Structure 1
Amino acid sequence: MQRIRYYYLVKLQFLGFRYSGWQKQPDQKTIEAMLVKTLKYILADQKFKILGAGRTDAKVSALDAAFELYLDDTPIAVLDDFLELFNKNLPPDIRVMSIREVDQAFNIIQNSKEKEYIYLFAYGKKSHPFCAPYLVTFLDDLDLNKMNRVARFFEGTHNFKSYTARVQENTKVIRTVTSSEIKENTILQANFFPKKTYAFHVKGEGFMRYQIRMMMGVLVQVGKGELSEEEVLDSLKEESNMKLPFVAPGSGLILNQVDFNILD
């Protein structure tokens, strides 16, 4: 008897501060592992698998993440009821926002059109401890005007091989960044945040591991006067062998939006 499979696109939010990233790992608390554990409970003996739209590092959060749910034999009867049951059994730092059925032709990796990440930060004075899960405070004074000018250097198609932890043979190092800029933070607010906080916004089709955190690290070094604008431009050239020592902490990074080409 031929197996029947049903496909669903699930959107979710999570606070990543107590998780070791998205991907399942032995003896580690991860977002994927928590989702699978919860689905096993609410789906009982039904066969399923999930595939994320991408992987996030330890402590990285998401306001608009996504995964595809593959369900064998029996479809979800009422999507709203399933959504409510799913959320009821997830921990408070993970929330499923929506679920919709998609066609078999939909591929969560290939149909991902653009992603936007933001990196929340403050600088100068040490922040309230409650800020730790949401933003990073750099204790040095930073030249924001210079940082924002250099942030624009990342826009366009460049060789980002210096902006990842390890380049392997199949690593796609040529990446296109459609937007890169620093703005005042209007995404998250709290009364214990510093008076002024900032957000580094980056949009593109896809990013390598640590890429945005290393881009942020470069901007911080520029803001502190440790890297020149010319050195940043050189780091984006194919012949660059520059070693970038500073990877900005994961807790400031948030996946803000994922856009898909949905095949209806």
Structure 2
Amino acid sequence: MMRNILFIVSYDGSKYHGWQVQKNALAVQEVFQQAMGRVLGSTPDLKACSRTDTGVHARQFCISVHIERDIPLERLTAAMNHFLPPDIAVLSCREVPMEFHARYSCRGKEYVYQIWNTQVRNPFLNGYALHYWYPMNLEKLNRAAAHYVGAHDFTSFCTLDLRDRGDMVRTVTKAELSRSGDMVTFTVAADGFLYNMVRIMVGTLLRVAQGKFEPEQIPQILECCDRNAAGPTAPACGLYLNRVFYDEGVMG
């Protein structure tokens, strides 16, 4: 009997070239498929909620898989974790309706970007937060971030490559910065994200911190739909896929 299983996964992306299988580099998907092959004896087609890029981490990443094996969910979680490396873990798994798709059923995502904001670097945060030692005025930065909220064409905040551009409008529901000690966290939620969108948002906010942009310039940057108008792409190390949103009841 075919079942649709939703895996909720967490991983440290430091050693991986993103989620999606690459020809000449190790990706999280490849490692997950190998573990699944050892547990199930075959490798079913994986449906992932997103594609994270090289060096990006995930605190909550969702994968849906159709399987025929009648393995109890608790045993399936334990078996996967037995074969996965220490930097990838299945947090839980559950049965979902057959029509559920980890990507197409997704209602939105939340990312966080961590900035270690003090003069002295923290060696334990190397690869897990951007070290930025200049002052950050959070009141000013939150005024800038507030302009991200709403439905906008985010072409200025997207790295354009060979991918089909499609619809560049995304609806941001939350964009704010907070501080805990020396750690500044940018949290942003939306119905979807473009390629490098969050990292360019962060790079633009750092330009505001440096006085190179004013908060009131963000709407103008959005309206011109020009990647060259926004700030640089912040490094991947501070970025985490934090939460994935589905219809009520799916995540338990």
Are the aligned partners of 1:180 and 1:203 in contact in 2 as well (CA < 8 Å)?
Answer: yes
Match of 1:190 in 2: none
Q: Separation in 1 of the partners of 2:214 and 2:227?
A: 13
Q: Name which of 10, 22, 26 aligns with 1:13.
A: 10
* TM-score, scaled to structure 2: 0.92
The amino acid that maps onto 1:25 is Q
Q: Name which of 226, 243, 249 aligns with 1:257.
A: 243
Q: Separation in 2 of the partners of 1:59 and 1:129?
A: 17
Q: Identify the range of structure 1 (207-216 vs 220-229) with the bigger mean alpha-carbon deviation.
A: 220-229
Match of 1:176 in 2: 171
* TM-score, scaled to structure 1: 0.88
Q: Which runs of 5+ in 1 are unaligned?
A: 186-194
Q: Separation in 2 of the partners of 1:5 and 1:142?
A: 53
Tell me: CA distance 1:198–1:35, structure 2 relative to 1, closer, same or farther (3 Å): same
Q: Separation in 1 of the partners of 2:165 and 2:15?
A: 31
Superposed CA offset, 1:188-214 (max 9, x none): xxxxxxx42111010111101100000
Q: Separation in 2 of the partners of 1:14 and 1:149?
A: 32
Compute the RMSD of aligned alpha carbons: 1.8
Q: Separation in 1 of the partners of 2:112 and 2:202?
A: 10
Are the aligned partners of 2:33 and 2:43 in contact in 1 as well (CA < 8 Å)?
Answer: no
Q: CA deviation at 1:170?
A: 4.0
Match of 1:202 in 2: 188
Are the aligned partners of 1:127 and 1:137 in contact in 2 as well (CA < 8 Å)?
Answer: yes
Write the mapping of 1:171-250 to structure 2, written as runs, cut at 5 A: 171-185=166-180, 195-237=181-223, 239-243=224-228, 244-250=230-236
Q: Separation in 2 of the partners of 1:151 and 1:68?
A: 33
Match of 1:152 in 2: 146
Q: Separation in 2 of the partners of 1:76 and 1:27?
A: 35
Superposed CA offset, 1:119-176 (max 9, x none): 0112241312221122111133333221111011100111100111117554221110
Write the mapping of 1:118-137 to structure 2, written as runs, cut at 5 A: 118-137=112-131
Q: Separation in 2 of the partners of 1:222 and 1:66?
A: 34
Q: Separation in 2 of the partners of 1:26 and 1:182?
A: 37
SS in 2 for 1:216: helix
Q: Separation in 1 of the partners of 2:44 and 2:227?
A: 44
Tell me: CA distance 1:242–1:80, structure 2 relative to 1, closer, same or farther (3 Å): closer
Q: CA deviation at 1:80?
A: 0.7
Q: CA deviation at 1:105?
A: 1.6
Q: Which runs of 5+ in 2 are unaligned?
A: none
Q: Separation in 1 of the partners of 2:183 and 2:19?
A: 26
The percentage of counterpart residues that share the same residue type is: 27
SS in 2 for 1:227: coil
Q: Name which of 132, 157, 161 aligns with 1:138.
A: 132
Are the aligned partners of 2:59 and 2:243 in contact in 1 as well (CA < 8 Å)?
Answer: yes
SS in 2 for 1:80: helix
Q: Name which of 46, 49, 62 aligns with 2:45.
A: 49
Superposed CA offset, 1:33-92 (max 9, x none): 110111112222x35111110011111111111111122xx3332111111011011000
SS in 2 for 1:18: coil
Q: Separation in 2 of the partners of 1:183 and 1:19?
A: 28
Q: CA deviation at 1:251?
A: 0.9
The amino acid that maps onto 1:234 is Q
Match of 2:102 in 1: 108
The amino acid that maps onto 2:160 is R
Match of 2:66 in 1: 70
